Amino acid sequence: MKINFSAAIALALILPLSSIAQESSKARVPADSRSAAPGKISLITLDPGHFHAALVQKSMYPVIDPEVHVYAPGGPELQAHLALVRQYNERADQPTHWKETVYEGPDYLQKMISERKGNVVVMAGNNHLKTEYIDRAVRAGFNVLSDKPMAIDVAGFRLLAKAFDEAAARQVLLYDIMTERSEITNILQKELVHLPGVFGELRPGSAADPSVVMESVHFYYKNVSGRTLTRPDWFFDPAQQGEALADVGTHLLDLVQWICFPSTPLDYTKDIRVLSASTWPTPMGLSQFSVITQKNAFPAFLKPYLRDDTLLETHGNGEVTYRLRDVYARVTARWEYQAPAGSGDTHHATFKGTKATLEIRQGAGEGFQPTLYILPVSTSDAYTAAVADIVRHLATRYPGITLKKVAAGWTVDIPASYKVGHEAHFAQVMQRYLGFLAAGRIPDWEIKGMLAKYYTSTKALELARPR
């Protein structure tokens, strides 16, 4: 499906992404006269069951047709998706102007394939179905932008690997939504890891003492775009939503790869060794479940996870220790019911270098805001001067960042203008994907990185033992 951008549109779109978009790749966008008009991308939303499908449309994009074709079986999840898009259209501040053209019916997938009303399929919903959706869409010649995860078990990973081969053969672009790369503290942590004057070299670590440690905590009860989120009941079924490691854990696995080995093609058959993994439940009472799902009883498919028919022990937590090339890493993904007042989802990340440890904390001491620490091995005057000089130089690329002295070292003070929030990151990912479409390719390291992280998550779950 050739996206025939004009030179002006393409240049305006990909300038911030030129260093990425120019890298080599197996995937190219083919010609297809049946797809969108020249210079336009037309979106298809397939079976939206997660609010991330709507967040892709929280902003408008000049090269994307405002008409979006939605194919779904119908039901409350579709209506929730349409309501959220409508909310963006009707807001007072910078309203969008999407037109949702909807097809409802049991043959929604085949209808999407036969009608070919767009050239990019957006997927965010039931993860049990997603890998098959990806495979079918790619084999039909559609580009795909998929929410994470693309696969939730080993069988799904095998199918996903075939889908990437098929995407290369059919010259379509298959990509997943990794919003955490757009978070400013993660960006600056990556920058500093690769500045030897501050960080030195990354320590290899060991299985008992990994040099990279990441943990995220998400919450079932949350607000999205100012309203309390209603989750579908299948969200709590690991066979449909996936275990924590296979779901939000993919963000952490992606960050480890992206920070430690940027722009490096990883070979999951050689570069990754999963050492240990475990999962454990998050207990939830029926009243809590009802608040989140608006259902007054547990569905039958959750019966295997009920204790005394009253307490749901959903598989909300997981941890994996693995070796990525010569680096030992540990990743933990957790879910709790509700965040403490004034907080939300949290992220913790530690990278241990020979000169300093770089750590992101987001606890009460940081006001629940992600904060990047530089914790030096030595506090010599020479090192202090070197850090100050390096951060001043870094500020020429990220204007306004400064150092703030704390007891154990420094924090990187980041202007509020960079802290746009999680929902805004979806537009940034879309811009990255549009850059790939404009260039006609996804970098090879990105494709191999997707395979590497989904291999790691699904292999970990194959080895995991419940606590």
The pair of structure tokens assigned to 358 is 């770089």
Is the whole model's pTM more than 0.95, yes or no? no
The pair of structure tokens assigned to 119 is 């050239």
d(CA 437, CA 175): 11
Element (H, E) at 85: helix 76-90
**Residue 137 class from Cβ within 10 Å (0-12 exposed, 13-18 middle, 19+ buried)?**
buried
The pair of structure tokens assigned to 390 is 């390096």
d(CA 447, CA 295): 40
Q: What is the pLDDT of residue 26?
A: 36
- Strands 409-413 and 402-406, bridge-based pairing: antiparallel
Question: 8 Cβ partners below 8 Å, 6+ apart?
Answer: none
d(CA 276, CA 460): 7
Question: What fold, for 7-178?
Answer: Rossmann fold (3.40.50)
**Count of CB atoms within 10 A of residue 267's CB?**
12
Pick the CATH number of 182-422 from 3.30.360.10, 3.40.50.970, 3.40.190.290, 2.60.120.20: 3.30.360.10
DSSP result, 8-34? HHHHHHHGGGHHHHTS--S--PPP-TT
Q: Where are the domains of the chain?
A: 7-178, 182-422
The pair of structure tokens assigned to 222 is 């949350």
Q: What is the pLDDT of residue 39?
A: 53
Closest of 403, 409, 404, 405 to residue 376, by C-alpha: 409
Q: What is the pLDDT of residue 30?
A: 38
Q: What is the pLDDT of residue 228?
A: 84
The pair of structure tokens assigned to 303 is 């019966």
Which residue is listed with tokens 């994907």? 433
- Strands 223-224 and 227-228, bridge-based pairing: antiparallel
Q: Do domains 7-178 and 182-422 have the same CATH topology?
A: no
**Nearest 5°: CA angle at 325, between 352 and 280?**
70
CB 336 within 8 A of CB 219: yes
**Residue 367 class from Cβ within 10 Å (0-12 exposed, 13-18 middle, 19+ buried)?**
exposed
Question: 97 Cβ partners below 8 Å, 6+ apart?
Answer: 60, 66, 89
- Is the bond preceding residue 232 a cis peptide, omega within 30 degrees? no
**Per-residue tens of pLDDT for the chain, all 467 residues:** 444 433 333 433 433 333 323 333 333 333 343 344 445 899 999 999 999 999 999 999 999 999 999 999 999 999 999 999 999 999 999 999 999 999 999 999 999 999 999 999 999 999 999 999 999 999 999 999 999 999 999 999 999 999 999 999 999 999 999 999 999 999 999 999 999 999 999 999 999 999 999 999 999 998 887 778 899 999 999 999 999 999 999 999 999 999 999 999 999 999 999 999 999 999 999 999 999 999 999 999 999 999 988 899 988 899 999 999 999 999 999 999 998 888 889 999 999 999 999 999 999 999 999 999 999 998 899 999 999 999 999 999 999 999 999 999 999 999 999 999 889 999 999 999 999 999 999 999 999 999 999 999 999 999 997 77
**Measuring CA to CA, how many Å separate 406 from each of 198, 350, 357, 369, 413?**
16, 17, 14, 16, 11
